[in-house]
Amino acid sequence: MRVVATKEPKLGTVVRTLRGRDQEQYAVVVGFVDSRTVLIADGDKRKFDAPKKKNVLHLEITDFISSEVASSIQETGRVTNGKIRYALLKFAEGMTAEESGKETSNG
Give CA–CA dist 28/13, Å, rounded.
6
Pick from 14-18, 75-79, 103-107: least confident: 103-107
Task: Give yes or no for residue 84 having a pLDDT over 80.
Answer: yes
Return the pLDDT at 64: 93
| HSE of 30, CA atoms in CB hemisphere, 13 A | 29
- The residue ranking higher by pLDDT, 57 or 100, is 57
User: Each residue of 21-72: pLDDT tens digit?
Assistant: 999 999 999 999 999 999 999 999 999 999 999 999 999 999 999 999 999 9
Nearest residue to 42 (alpha-carbon basis) of 59, 77, 6, 34 = 59
Using 50, 70 and 90 to split pLDDT, how confident is the model at 3? low
Yes or no: say if 31 and 93 are a contact pair by the CB < 8 Å rule: no
Write down all domains in the chain, each with its CATH number in brackets.
13-101 (2.30.30.30)
Burial 68-77 (b: 16+ CB within 10 A, else e): ebbebbeeee
